[in-house]
Amino acid sequence: MWSDNDTVIDLLDYQYLISATENIISNDTLLPCTIGIYGDWGSGKSSLMRMVEESLRSDDKILTIKFNGWLFEGYEDAKSVLMGTILEEIGENRTLKGDAKKLFSKMLKQVDYMKVAKSLVKHGISFAAGGPAGLAITGMGDLISLAQKINPQDYVKAEEDTSKESLRMSIRKFHEDFSKLLQDLKIEKLVIFIDDLDRCNTDTVIDTLEAIKLFLYVPNSAFVICADEKIIEYAVRRRFPEIPGRGLEVASAYLEKLIQFPIRLPRLNETELETYINLLFAQLYVEHTHFQKICKEVIYEKSAEELQSKKLDHDYLAKALPSVSEELQKAMLLTRQITPILTVGLDGNPRQSKRFMNMLMMRIGMANSKKIELEIRILAKLMLLEYFKKETFIKLHEYQAEQGGKPKEIRLLEARLIADKNKNSENKIETVSIIPEVEIWEKDDWITQWVNTEPKLTDVDLGPYFYFSRDRLNSMYSTKQQMSSQALTVYHDLVSGSDVYEKKSLQEASSLSPSDSSSIFEELKEKLLQESNGSASTQNFKLLFGWTNVRKELTSQLLTFLKGIPHETIPTLAVTELLKVIKGTAFEKDGTDIIKEWAQSESNKDLSKIASNRIKPKK
């Protein structure tokens, strides 16, 4: 297995991005500046930032500071905690003497005062009424020691006297003091790395960006911000809605003003992802010095012609290594099998791909501990179904549990697809038995591609494989854990109760990966099952149908789900919504068959009536 933390080992060929970042920082004419390292969740932003930081740290003339606002969120004001952290790091890494020491102490007090002032604005009534003791009532006891130095009457007077002019003076003074402090300490260049900003709430995101521009943006400084650009833009939109009638995209304009140099991490293509996964396996099975040699040749020394084509595969390893172990050969065969699906399904995302591989290896380890041998390629194939077609995975689990681990549905589907390929075979497609569930799966292109990949599952006992996936079959498992930050935002907008945000999230659906789309479907389904009564149930059904309507590849999953739920839980709008989803698709007959079943329902007369009216033949 592999660590899920950021790393300084470059397995993604990001050296050219590291060089681009360092070139900006080393160019004095470009400073001060803010660099945005943009990428999806799990694309390697934090690792890239760490590699840049590691490279710069060797230069004594450069002071590097790392800040993670997410760690402090909810405890302190974002502006003051960023400023305080930077000052504390400067104090720990430089010797303070004379004027510099006095200036440093003065600035720390300014930051402390800002912490108190921000809290007093929030809890001003308690402070004005009871002084420092009044803060205890509001749970602000950690600020009592600082607040004791402030007279409540002075606070009230300060409230009245505060003006925009005095605020501007305060910002300008801190800005000047900060610049002078760096000069006095002979810090030639200050580089501040800010990570996990896209995990913070809207106010923290904006306050952090404003603190950079207002207080800390001084000569010879550079700020490197790692974030998902879409999440930061979302935070800006929430804080500053677009100006109506002007056609002005406020979020983009705001970010362009604050971040001058955007560096965007590309998604991995199939060749790159195959190389990345094979490098992960090489880490496990190849001696360290040989592994370093492989990295150097495959990643760092590619020629211009090899940028898109050179990859780590069995042929390369056979030449580069004295011998290739059987474990590594099997692993590379597995990589070749799963990479095409992971590239599309996970949008070439390194972290999600690594998590898939970690789950795979963990389940193999679980089986080994029980002295059960699982074929890794079969397990990987089932896990692909689990990730991308969860409803089919759940149904297959039920079938195999009822049939001693060898479900006839898989045998029938494989037989039909083989017969379809070979029209001259005696087993014509019409001669192979068919059941409704298999017919639905057969019309899903993704599922047919999955069935056709090796190894075939006919006559394989699937029981042990599903045994070690029981955690994911549990309804308490949340697929939010595998969503990207963009998908989480889309999901929260979708269920926010706001028509505006619901419409916006449906418009953004097409930009999500198949894995994210499937995860949102599963979350909506679980929400529906947990809120099965009244108007909430009706709304949840509407959302599930709406989501499927904009992500048509989920239609087979919707039909599989609808066939398995009690009629009494289904609202009448399901009839018209289902007709919208299946219109013009290969699933029209399957969806209509479900509506016919509803028309015969004894437990839901309202549903039965609406369904009967919609399927009556037109005269």
Q: How far apart, in whole angstroms, are the C-alpha atoms of residue 278 and residue 275? A: 5
Question: Does residue 149 register a pLDDT over 70?
Answer: no
pLDDT reported for residue 169: 60
**Of 131 and 184, more confident:** 184
Give pLDDT tens digits for 77-92: 778 888 888 898 888 8
pLDDT band at 159 (very low <50, low <70, confident <90, very high): very low
Question: Does residue 171 register a pLDDT over 80?
Answer: no
pLDDT reported for residue 24: 96
pLDDT reported for residue 536: 67
Give pLDDT tens digits for 268-300: 999 889 999 999 999 999 998 888 888 888 887
Which residue in this structure is represented by tokens 């606002």?
A: 69
**Of 230 and 495, more confident:** 495
Q: How far apart, in whole angstroms, are the C-alpha atoms of residue 246 and residue 251? A: 14
Q: What percent of the chain has pLDDT over 70?
A: 83
In eight-state DSSP terms, residue 380 is H
Q: What percent of the chain has pLDDT over 90?
A: 40
The gap between the terminal CA atoms of the chain, to the nearest Å, is 65
Q: How far apart, in whole angstroms, are the C-alpha atoms of residue 5 and residue 10? A: 13
Q: How far apart, in whole angstroms, are the C-alpha atoms of residue 357 and residue 372? A: 19
Question: Does residue 31 register a pLDDT over 70?
Answer: yes
Give pLDDT tens digits for 468-500: 998 777 655 667 777 887 888 899 989 988 888
Distances (CA, A) of 281 to 33, 315, 474: 39, 15, 30
Question: Does residue 173 register a pLDDT over 50?
Answer: yes
Q: How far apart, in whole angstroms, are the C-alpha atoms of residue 48 and residue 258? A: 21
Q: What's the rounded mean pLDDT across residues 532-550?
A: 86
pLDDT reported for residue 417: 83
Question: Does residue 127 register a pLDDT over 60?
Answer: no
pLDDT reported for residue 229: 85
Q: How far apart, in whole angstroms, are the C-alpha atoms of residue 163 and residue 362? A: 61
Distances (CA, A) of 337 to 79, 392, 395: 49, 20, 24
Q: How far apart, in whole angstroms, are the C-alpha atoms of residue 554 and residue 560? A: 10
**Does residue 190 contact residue 63 with C-beta atoms inside 8 Å?**
yes
What is 571-616 written as a DSSP string? -THHHHHHHHHHTTSTTHHHHHHHHHHHHT-SS-HHHHHHHHHHHS
Strand order from edge to edge, sheet including 261-264:
62-68, 189-195, 221-227, 33-38, 261-264
pLDDT reported for residue 160: 45
Q: Is residue 301 exposed (0-12), middle (13-18) or buried (19+ Cβ within 10 Å)?
A: exposed
Mean pLDDT across the chain:
83
Q: What's the rounded mean pLDDT across residues 151-170?
A: 49
Give pLDDT tens digits for 303-337: 666 656 667 877 788 888 888 888 888 898 899 88
In eight-state DSSP terms, residue 299 is I
pLDDT reported for residue 135: 43
Q: How far apart, in whole angstroms, are the C-alpha atoms of residue 321 and residue 560? A: 49
Q: How far apart, in whole angstroms, are the C-alpha atoms of residue 364 and residue 360? A: 6
Q: How far apart, in whole angstroms, are the C-alpha atoms of residue 61 and residue 86? A: 17
pLDDT reported for residue 117: 58
Question: Does residue 591 register a pLDDT over 70?
Answer: yes
pLDDT band at 368 (very low <50, low <70, confident <90, very high): very high
